[in-house]
Amino acid sequence: MKKFTFSALALGLCLTTFAQEPVNSAAVQKIRAEGLDKSKAYDIAYQITDVAGPRLSNSPGLKRAQDWAVKYFNEMGLKNVHLEAWGDFGKGWQVDKYYAATTKPFYRPIIASPKAWTPGTNGPIKSEVILIKADTITDLAKYKGKLKGKIVMIESALVQPLKNSYKADAVRYTDEELAKMAEATPPVAGGAPGNRQGGGQGGNQRAMMMRMMGMRAAIDSVLLAEGIGLKLTYARGSHGTFFTSNGASYKLDAKPVNPELEVSSEDYLHILRLLRGGEKVEIEADVKTSFYDKDPKGYNVIGEIPGTDPKLKEEIVMLGGHYDSWHSGTGATDNAAGSAVMIEAMRILKAIDFKPKRTIRIALWSSEEQGLFGSRGYVKSHFADPADMKPKPEHEKLSAYYNLDNGTGTIRGVYLQGNAAVKDIFQSWLTPFADLGAKTITISNTGGTDHQAYDGVGLPGFQFIQDPMDYNTRTHHSNMDTFDRLDIEDLKKSATIIASFVYHTSERAEKLPRKEMPKPQAPRM
Kindly report whether the global pTM for this prediction surpasses the value 0.75: yes
Same domain flag for 267 and 339: no
Q: How far apart are CA 321 and CA 339, in angstroms?
A: 5
AA identity, residue 418: G
Indicate whether 516 belongs to any domain.
no
Residue 197: pLDDT above 60? no
Same domain, 361 and 216: no
The residue type found at 315 is: E
Task: Identify the residue with better confidence: 184 or 218.
Answer: 184
To the nearest whole number, what is the mean pLDDT of the chain?
Answer: 92
Element housing 345 (H / E): helix 337-351
102 shares its domain with 235? yes
Question: d(Cα 168, Cα 467) in Å, to the nearest integer?
Answer: 14
Separation between Cα atoms, residue 36 and residue 305, nearest integer Å: 21
Q: For strands 151-154 and 125-132, give the pairing.
A: parallel
Mean of the pLDDT values across residues 64-78? 98
Asked if residue 185 is part of any domain, the answer here is no
Residues 6+ apart with CB under 8 A from 96: 120, 288, 289, 290
- In a domain, residue 348? The reply is yes
Instruction: Measure the CA–CA gap between 403 and 86, rounded to whole angstroms.
Output: 18
Question: Which candidate, 111, 76, 69, 83, places its Cα nearest to that of 347?
Answer: 76
Residue 494 near residue 411 (C-beta atoms within 8 A): yes
The domain of 280 spans 93-165+190-290
C-alpha to C-alpha distance for 291 and 6, rounded to whole angstroms: 54
Asked if 260 and 337 sit in the same domain, the reply is no
What letter would DSSP give residue 109? E
Instruction: pLDDT band for 136, please (50, 70, 90 cuts).
Output: confident
For residue 522, tell me if it sits in a domain.
Answer: no
- The last residue of one of the domains, among 290, 309, 336, is 290
Q: Is residue 33 part of a domain?
A: yes
Residues 458 and 362 placed together within one structural domain of the fold: yes
On the question of pLDDT at 215 being above 90, the answer is no
In a shared domain, residues 365 and 495: yes
DSSP 19: T
Instruction: Please report which confidence band the pLDDT of residue 494 belongs to, taking 50, 70 and 90 as the band edges.
Output: very high
The CA-based diameter of the chain, rounded to the nearest angstrom, is: 80
The answer to whether residues 8 and 145 belong to one domain is no
Choose one of 290, 322, 347: the last residue of a domain.
Answer: 290
Both 15 and 101 in a single domain? no
120 is a domain residue? yes
> Which CATH number do you get for residue 209?
3.50.30.30
521 in a domain, yes or no? no
Q: Is 370 exposed, middle or buried (0-12, 13-18, 19+ CB in 10 A)?
A: middle
Q: Listing from the earlier edge strand, what are the strands of the sheet with 112-114?
A: 108-109, 92-104, 282-292, 125-132, 151-154, 230-234, 260-263, 112-114
d(CA 372, CA 524) in angstroms, rounded, equals 12
Same domain, 118 and 42: no
139 in the same domain as 276: yes
Instruction: Assign 94 to helix, strand or coil.
Output: strand
Q: So what's the pLDDT on residue 524? A: 62
Residues 211 and 119 in one domain: yes
Q: What is the CATH number of the domain that holds 57?
A: 3.40.630.10
User: 3-class DSSP state for residue 397?
Assistant: helix
The answer to whether residue 183 sits within a structural domain is no
**Number of folded domains that form the chain:** 2
Residues 131 and 57 in one domain: no
